[in-house]
Amino acid sequence: MNIQQIQEAREQYGIEGWGSGYFGIDDNGNVVCHPTGEEHLSIDLPDLVEQAKENGISAPMILRFPQIIENQIARLHHAFKEAVWEYSYEGGHRAVFPFKVNQRREFIDHIVRCGSDYHYGLEVGSKPELLAAMSYNLSEKALFICNGFKDREFIETGFIAKAMGKNVVLVVEGPDELSHIIDLAKENPALCPDIGIRAKLYSRGSGKWAKSSGESSKFGLTTVEVLHCMSLLKSAGMEDRLQMLHFHIGSQVTEIKRIKNAIKEASRVFAKVTHMGFSPQFLNIGGGVGVDYDGSKTSYQSSANYSLQELANDVVYEIGEVCKREKIQAPQIVTESGRVIAAYHSIVVADIREVQSTESFSAAEGFELDFNENTNHKSLGELKYIIENINRKNYIEYYHDSIEYYEEMFTLFNLGYVNLEERALAEQMFYRICRRALYFSSFEKHVPEEFESLQQRMVSKFLANFSIFQSIPDAWSIDQLFPVMPLSHHEQKPTHKATIVDITCDSDGCLERFIDRKDFRQTLDLHSPSDRPYYLGFFLVGAYQESLANEHNLFGAINEAEVYIDEKGDWEIRKTTIGDPIEELLNTRNYDTPEILTSLSKQLESAFSEGKLPGDVKDSYQSRLEVMMAGSPYLRESNKNKYL
Ligand SMILES: *Cc1c(COP(=O)(O)O)cnc(C)c1O
């Protein structure tokens, strides 16, 4: 195997940076997953995809590694444990998982199961999330935090959860919510949950979600409102109910400095509230821990310039310092990290259906056009001459000449002097010249600007059998970058500078920005697949993408496979889920699918009775439509396209 090429690939795709010990390229050039974070336990992803296919799960599919979730929970827990020990912090740490980051049942089941040793709790922000969360048996010390805007019904349900023995904290978003709580507590003092206050901080986060914090944020109470709430509690004699102060400065905070500043401010608020006769136990610092999507460890949008350990150290240290200075008891630190817990555990895998390059449209590959000196237009002869004679010395001049001849061919076409074959021949020749010219320009110390933009226009488009809107919606809606790379072929040199298009009929369904150690790059290096199937993996997509998925063009949820590895390194697919069939997608848009099938069958019947269709053909058409209705909306594997 080509070890040097494989090493180059590791660097090129940055997998050792963003892989965080979970992903790598093995010495066969295949991408592998280490679900437990241990390098000697690995799953070969191309093998896994083949195995999934044997189990009836074809691409596009989500591969899930629940052990990664477990490992992330353990990493977070240990980071705080370590920091608490290091700084002899007198409070502790308690984590909850924010439901909105991945509400999928299997996901939350897993969080609850493997989080119980750590007293992992849940955080909800809406009524459906609340009801789902209430169905779980959490460990005795786990917190059950209710954020979000609440009406009386929501708050009453919080009392019910408390009656069930859960450690409910109702975090109030305004004095109105608090008045409801106080009213209900008067009727039922023993069942009144703990109360939290979400305060607006002056400090802001960084990155795309900075507007979740700061004075003008949609969330939280101003200082005046905080005081108002405290006085309401005092007059109701409910000072002891105020147990939590909550802050959340936004998701994917890229700079540790921002977190530190927010923590300092939050700790002071906490201390001042304590000095005013309240005795809150919990300081909830929210979520926001960034995922290093590009592996650069910088404060760039798709990165984060700190590790979990650094974060835990800074949080614990800063809170401890303020408490010492303010002479108050150190609180229990609560974290609501979602992204960093969930992101790593899933990969979207899509098969490549077609490669379009401007030079040779792959669909037309093997379709050669012949040049005929005697009958073809003389501009074509000139283009042919350029192809044969372009070199490193003359390429700029020859390239300019070719533009002229090429444009001339189009003018002649519009005037009717050139036929369709000649027009096609001109296209083919011109793009061949562009490729040659680009090749020669790559030897220059400074590539001339026009060749840089030519390079951009010459990229190949790889058609991937999936929907960006369904599987990685943030790549479309907020231009988030995810690591993308082929699952195999890394022993070979990439041959294409490529962008990716999906199968939706939307020109936004494309990826034209990719991770890089510096900012981003405009193309992805991909291979010419031929001997084996070629799959692209979209990594770190376990947080938010499923919650935000949409069914543009009626492409719905894709197939899934859940995979576990044991301590001997044997792995298995424990669970598979079939994606949404067409009928289900139509149902969500209020179509009555039996009605549709009846209508289709009636139309076939009348074609039959008019003698336009033989009976057996009619029956076979009928059953094909029924199969299609129950099948997936994505492209099926065709033998011809199998390996492209
Ligand atoms: C969304 C949210 C979180 C999760 O944030 P991450 O950046 O995913 O860790 C935590 N707390 C609250 C209140 C939230 O709204």
| Average confidence (pLDDT) over 233-256 | 94
Contact indicator for 87, 62 with CB cutoff of 8 Å: no
Mutate to test the pocket of ligand 1, among 97, 197, 248 (most ligand atoms within 8 A of CB): 248
Spatial neighbors of 102 by CB under 8 A, at least 6 apart, are 108, 338, 342, 542, 543, 544, 546, 547
- Domain presence at residue 579: no
CATH number of the domain that 75 lies in?
A: 3.20.20.10
The domain boundary residue, chosen from 403, 424, 456: 456
Gap between the Cα atoms of 290 and 484, Å rounded: 19
Return the structure tokens found at 166. Answer: 């859960």
Model confidence pLDDT, tens digit, residues 272-288: 999 999 999 999 999 99
Return the structure tokens found at 630. Answer: 């129950």
Judge whether residue 643 has pLDDT over 60: no
Where does the pLDDT of residue 202 fall: very low under 50, low under 70, confident under 90, or very high at 90 and above? confident
Judge whether residue 642 has pLDDT over 70: no
- Domain presence at residue 570: no
Where does the pLDDT of residue 466 fall: very low under 50, low under 70, confident under 90, or very high at 90 and above? very high
Distance 489 CA to ligand 1 centre (A): 38
Model confidence pLDDT, tens digit, residues 291-335: 999 999 999 889 999 999 999 999 999 999 999 999 999 999 999
Is residue 41 lining ligand 1, measured as CB closer than 6 Å? no
CATH number of the domain that 352 lies in?
A: 2.40.37.10
| Average confidence (pLDDT) over 557-565 | 97
- Asked if 505 is an active-site residue, the reply is yes
Atom in ligand 1 nearest the alpha carbon of residue 544: 8
- Domain presence at residue 278: yes
Where does the pLDDT of residue 206 fall: very low under 50, low under 70, confident under 90, or very high at 90 and above? confident
Model confidence pLDDT, tens digit, residues 495-512: 888 999 999 999 999 999
307-36-336 Cα angle (round to 5) = 45
Question: Residue 482: its pLDDT value, please?
Answer: 97
Same domain for 639 and 538? no
- Domain presence at residue 382: yes
Residue nearest to atom 2 of ligand 1 (CA): 287
Q: CA nearest 307: which of 263, 261, 256, 344?
A: 256
Is residue 339 lining ligand 1, measured as CB closer than 6 Å? yes
The domain in which residue 48 lies consists of 3-58
Question: Residue 362: its pLDDT value, please?
Answer: 41
Spatial neighbors of 328 by CB under 8 A, at least 6 apart, are 270, 271, 274, 275
Is residue 287 lining ligand 1, measured as CB closer than 6 Å? yes
Long-range contacts of 325-329 (CB under 8 A, 24+ apart): 326/267, 326/268, 326/271, 326/272, 326/274, 326/275, 328/270, 328/271, 328/274, 328/275, 329/90, 329/91, 329/274
Same domain for 452 and 477? no
**Total domains present in the chain:** 5
Same domain for 230 and 315? yes
Mean pLDDT of the chain: 93
| Average confidence (pLDDT) over 417-436 | 91
- Domain presence at residue 534: yes
Gap between the Cα atoms of 389 and 394, Å rounded: 9
Catalytic residue among 33, 323, 434, 505: 505
Same domain for 351 and 430? no
| Average confidence (pLDDT) over 52-68 | 96
Same domain for 223 and 155? yes
Measured from the Cβ of residue 126, the count of other Cβ atoms closer than 10 Å reads 17
The domain boundary residue, chosen from 58, 78, 105: 58
Question: Residue 361: its pLDDT value, please?
Answer: 44
| Average confidence (pLDDT) over 334-348 | 98
Is residue 290 lining ligand 1, measured as CB closer than 6 Å? no
Same domain for 215 and 170? yes
Distance 123 CA to ligand 1 centre (A): 9
Question: Residue 216: its pLDDT value, please?
Answer: 65
Same domain for 39 and 130? no
Is residue 100 lining ligand 1, measured as CB closer than 6 Å? yes
Judge whether residue 363 has pLDDT over 50: no
Same domain for 234 and 314? yes
Same domain for 448 and 303? no
CB-count exposure of residue 135 (10 Å: 0-12, 13-18, 19+): exposed
Same domain for 426 and 473? no
| Average confidence (pLDDT) over 124-138 | 97
End-to-end Cα separation, the chain, in angstroms: 23
Same domain for 430 and 351? no
Return the structure tokens found at 411. Answer: 């003018």
Is residue 198 lining ligand 1, measured as CB closer than 6 Å? no
Measured from the Cβ of residue 596, the count of other Cβ atoms closer than 10 Å reads 15
Alpha helices in 343-466 (DSSP H): 378-389, 395-414, 420-441, 449-457
Same domain for 277 and 298? yes
Gap between the Cα atoms of 71 and 465, Å rounded: 31
SS3 247: coil
pTM as predicted: 0.91
Model confidence pLDDT, tens digit, residues 505-538: 999 999 999 999 888 988 999 998 777 889 999 9
Gap between the Cα atoms of 253 and 210, Å rounded: 8
Distance 273 CA to ligand 1 centre (A): 24
Mutate to test the pocket of ligand 1, among 76, 251, 291, 308 (most ligand atoms within 8 A of CB): 251
